[in-house]
C-alpha cells in the first residue's frame, strides 16, 4: 500500500466549466490528466459540484477564471470547498482572469471594495494560494488573506515569470 501512495503524483488538476480548453492545454503541457469532476445544475439553477476522484493529501490546482457571469466565481468557490472537505493537502486556485480585481480601493464614498470581497470569498472557500494573471495594479492589502502569485507575459518574450507582489513568503 505504501508503494502505491509513493508512485502516485501529488499534483491533481481540476477544471471548472469557464475555460475547459485552457485547462486541457495546461494539463497536456504538464503531462497530467484532468481530474474528473461532476458539474450540473439543479432545477432551480443552483450549481452542484462533485470531485469524482480521491484528493486526500494531494496538492489540488483548480483552473477557473472568474469572468462574468458570476456563476464562474461560485463554481470556483464550490470546487475549492469540495477539495478542502475531501482533505486535499493544499488548494491552489489558478485564476487566469480575477474578476473585480480593478475595484481594489475606496476611491469615493459609499463604494464596495469588490476585489477584497472576492479575495475573502476565495480564501474562506479554502484557497491556500492563488495564481492570477495580468493584474493592472496590485493592492497588497486586498490580497493579504492568501499567498498570491501573479504572472505577466513579457511582450518581448514567450516566457511567463512569477513574482510576489506583496513581499517574500
How would residue 135 be classed by pLDDT, with cut points 50, 70 and 90?
A: low
Partnered with residue 31 across adjacent β-strands are: none
Question: How many other CB atoms are found less than 10 A from the CB of residue 8?
Answer: 11
Cα distances (angstroms) measured from residue 109 to each of 87, 103, 106, 113: 42, 13, 7, 11
Task: Check: CB of residue 99 under 8 Å from CB of residue 68.
Answer: yes
**Coil, strand, or helix at residue 164?**
coil
pLDDT of residue 153: 58
pLDDT in tens, 89-134: 999 999 998 888 888 788 899 998 888 888 889 999 999 988 887 6
What is the average per-residue pLDDT within 47-69? 95
pLDDT of residue 38: 97
Give the Cα separation of 151 and 149 in Å (integer): 7
Task: Check: CB of residue 41 under 8 Å from CB of residue 47.
Answer: yes
Q: What pTM value is reported for the model?
A: 0.81
pLDDT of residue 100: 85
- Chain mean position to CA 115: 15
Question: 2-163 in CATH: which number?
Answer: 3.40.50.2020
Task: Check: CB of residue 75 under 8 Å from CB of residue 49.
Answer: yes
pLDDT in tens, 37-54: 999 999 999 999 999 999
Residue 138 reports pLDDT greater than 70: no
Amino acid at each position: 500500500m505504501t508503494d502505491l501512495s509513493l508512485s502516485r503524483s501529488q499534483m491533481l488538476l481540476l477544471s471548472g466549466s469557464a475555460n475547459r480548453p485552457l485547462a486541457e492545454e495546461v494539463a497536456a503541457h504538464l503531462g497530467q490528466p484532468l481530474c474528473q469532476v461532476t458539474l450540473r445544475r439543479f432545477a432551480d439553477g443552483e450549481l452542484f459540484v462533485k470531485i469524482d476522484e480521491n484528493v486526500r493529501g494531494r496538492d489540488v490546482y483548480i483552473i477557473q477564471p472568474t469572468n462574468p457571469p458570476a456563476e464562474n466565481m461560485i463554481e470556483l468557490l464550490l470546487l475549492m470547498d469540495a477539495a478542502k472537505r475531501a482533505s486535499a493537502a493544499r488548494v491552489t486556485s489558478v485564476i487566469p482572469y480575477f474578476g473585480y480585481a480593478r475595484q481594489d480601493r475606496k476611491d469615493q464614498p459609499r463604494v464596495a471594495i469588490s476585489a477584497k470581497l472576492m479575495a475573502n470569498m476565495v480564501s474562506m472557500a479554502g484557497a491556500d494560494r492563488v495564481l492570477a494573471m495580468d493584474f493592472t495594479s496590485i493592492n497588497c492589502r486586498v490580497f493579504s488573506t492568501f499567498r498570491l502569485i501573479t504572472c505577466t507575459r513579457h511582450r518581448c518574450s514567450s516566457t511567463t515569470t512569477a513574482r510576489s507582489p506583496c513581499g517574500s513568503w
